[in-house]
């Protein structure tokens, strides 16, 4: 048996799979994000650990007979977060999360002080990444910065709690801006640009390698044997790719979770920072990937449902009843509720509904939200194409994959077949469990097969002219917003 734990932004999720890859049980525990100031997003790492304990207890109760047979586990997690520990391994402040945009000024500072950044890290300096966060701490919380002994990524804090080992994997480390992504090693010069060194960093392993072992007291408390190994694991998107079987060049998927991701697998390091495309290590050796990332995806739908006092199931049913004429008259939505990464790299971008009238009901606005997220993914596909990546089809995973209407809209907007898979909502947790299986001796061919297809959505040519018109308006609206801010 293999356990996978995924530390998401809004939930800790875990699954157990058996030796055939079948999911035996899953459980989750919600998390809250604290926003004490505009542009801030933080969480207390202690809350992650409490939620993990709760999830483990639920899983154990679901499969009491199989549970003791777990021999390995893997970890997946939200990327870019900064967990700061002192020499006594005490957490110095709340973790600064990936969707925190306070460090825009520090991005400029890093770019100026490390001219080799784009070549080595393969990415633009963006507020979401870890390195600018540390420059912000150095500038505004110098008394905390002076105490830093270790910087950990979110999932690696859980690993440290479980094993006592400070370790990260290549895919997650690539999102710090401190990794030489081609060499898969820390970059001394990029660390020095932030006033840090290798001594502050965790040890690096591949995601499918063993990173350590569950501590005896934790194993006993969890009802497991004292020889449970822990795989290196992966950043949430790389782990999701392992879970969906996207491990070979040309494989691709769209993830609609809190953020939206278009992920394409490469056999070599292929950076394209000028278009805000991310180029990272994959969670498996000798593999890399490109990503376009939008900061708000399914979370925009949750936000809108809370705003209008509805739930996603009811709203999606109302949207499904709309005809093309109603869709044509719907507002156009910019989903930049937390700024945007690809392709704009603009932490100050903001969301908007354009074209509202008295005639619009909530279904029309809900449709605009789904469409706006799809348009954001289309922007990402464009810049991946400019970087030389060609896709034939995309899998769809994450919470948004549960909506057939959204899946069809994605296919129509992107003009690509979109495929959903059985168990696709498991995402990073399933990938983490598979990485645990690989660390225990499984082979990539045996472990990383694609889950069974649930449905295929082919582009509807009749809708594409309308969507192309609305996409052009969407893009023009952002340019107008940008021009207003620069005026």
Q: For residue 278, say whether it is annotated as part of any ligand binding site.
A: no
Q: Using CA atoms, how far apart are residues 482 and 487, in angstroms rounded to an integer?
A: 9
Q: Would residue 236 show up in a list of annotated catalytic residues for this protein? A: yes
- Asked if 79 and 176 touch (Cβ cutoff 8 Å), the reply is no
Judge whether 1 and 62 are in contact, CB under 8 Å.
no
Catalytic residue among 172, 209, 236, 346: 236
What DSSP assignment string belongs to 82-117?
Answer: BEEE-TT--B-SPEEPTT--TTHHHHHHHHHH-TTH
Of the candidates 333, 301, 329, the one whose C-alpha atom is nearest the C-alpha of residue 405 is 301
Q: Shortest CA distance to 424 belongs to which of 450, 398, 455?
A: 398
Distance in angstroms (rounded) separating the CA atoms of residues 47 and 344: 33
The tokens for 401 are: 């994959």
The strand pairing partners of 262, in sequence order, are 254, 292
The distance of Cα 75 from the centroid of its chain, to the nearest Å, equals: 13
Distance CA 183, CA 394 (A): 29
Task: Determine the angle formed by the axes of helices 362-386 and 298-308, rounding to 10 degrees.
Answer: 170
Task: Tell me whether the omega of the peptide bond preceding residue 82 falls within 30 degrees of 0, making it cis.
Answer: no
Q: Any bridge partners for residue 179, and if so which?
A: 186
User: 200 among the known binding-site residues?
Assistant: no
Which neighbouring-strand residues pair with 180? 185
Own/partner contacts of 400-405, CB < 8 Å, gap of 24 or more, are: 400/256, 400/257, 400/260, 400/297, 400/298, 400/301, 400/373, 401/256, 401/425, 403/312, 403/316, 403/370, 404/455, 404/457, 405/316, 405/319, 405/320, 405/370
Closest C-alpha to 175, from 161, 190, 196, 160: 190
Helix (H, G, I), strand (E, B) or coil at 367: helix
Q: Which residues pair with 72 in a beta bridge?
A: 2, 229
- The answer to whether residues 169 and 211 touch, using CB atoms and an 8 Å cutoff, is yes
Q: Which residues are catalytic?
A: 236
């Amino acid at each position: 048996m293999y356990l996978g734990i995924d530390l998401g932004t809004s939930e800790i999720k875990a699954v157990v799979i058996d030796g055939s890859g079948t999911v035996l049980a899953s459980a989750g525990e919600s998390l809250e994000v604290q926003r004490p100031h505009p542009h801030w997003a933080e969480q207390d790492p202690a809350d992650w650990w409490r939620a993990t304990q709760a999830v483990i207890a639920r899983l154990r109760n679901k499969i009491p007979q199989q549970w003791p047979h777990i021999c390995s586990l893997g970890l997946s997690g939200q990327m870019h977060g900064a967990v700061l520990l002192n020499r006594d391994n005490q957490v110095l402040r709340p973790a600064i999360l990936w969707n925190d945009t306070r460090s825009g000024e520090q991005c400029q500072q890093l770019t100026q002080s490390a001219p080799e950044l784009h070549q080595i890290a393969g990415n633009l300096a963006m507020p979401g990444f870890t390195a600018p966060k540390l420059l912000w701490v150095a500038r505004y919380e110098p008394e905390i910065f002076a105490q830093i002994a270790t910087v950990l990524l979110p999932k690696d804090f859980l690993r440290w709690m479980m094993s006592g080992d400070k370790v990260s994997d290549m895919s997650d480390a690539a999102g710090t801006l401190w990794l030489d992504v081609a060499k898969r090693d820390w970059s001394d010069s990029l660390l020095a640009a932030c006033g840090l060194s290798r001594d502050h960093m965790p040890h690096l392993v591949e995601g499918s390698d063993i990173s350590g072992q569950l501590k005896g007291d934790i194993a006993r408390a969890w009802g497991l044997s004292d020889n449970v190994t822990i795989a290196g694991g992966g950043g949430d998107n790389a782990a999701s790719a392992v879970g969906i079987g996207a491990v070979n060049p040309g494989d691709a998927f769209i993830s609609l979770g809190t953020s939206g991701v278009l992920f394409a697998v490469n056999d070599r390091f292929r950076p394209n920072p000028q278009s805000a495309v991310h180029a990272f290590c994959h969670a498996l050796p000798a593999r890399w990937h490109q990503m376009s990332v939008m900061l708000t995806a399914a979370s925009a739908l949750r936000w809108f449902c809370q705003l209008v006092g509805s739930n996603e199931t009811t709203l999606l049913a109302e949207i499904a009843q709309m005809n093309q004429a109603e869709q044509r008259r719907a507002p156009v939505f910019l989903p930049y509720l937390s700024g945007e990464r690809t392709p704009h790299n603009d932490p100050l971008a903001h969301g908007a509904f354009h074209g509202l009238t008295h005639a619009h009901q909530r279904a029309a606005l809900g449709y605009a939200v789904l469409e706006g997220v799809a348009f954001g993914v289309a922007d990402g596909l464009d810049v991946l194409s400019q970087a030389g990546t060609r896709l034939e089809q995309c899998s769809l995973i994450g919470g948004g994959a549960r909506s057939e209407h959204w899946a069809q809209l994605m296919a129509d907007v992107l003009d690509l077949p979109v495929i959903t898979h059985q168990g696709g909502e498991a995402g990073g947790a399933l990938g983490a469990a598979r990485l645990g299986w690989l660390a225990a001796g499984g082979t990539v061919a045996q472990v990383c097969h694609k889950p069974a297809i649930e449905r295929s959505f082919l582009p509807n040519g009749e809708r594409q002219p309308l969507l192309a018109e609305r996409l052009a308006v969407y893009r023009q609206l952002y340019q107008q917003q940008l021009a207003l801010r620069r005026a």
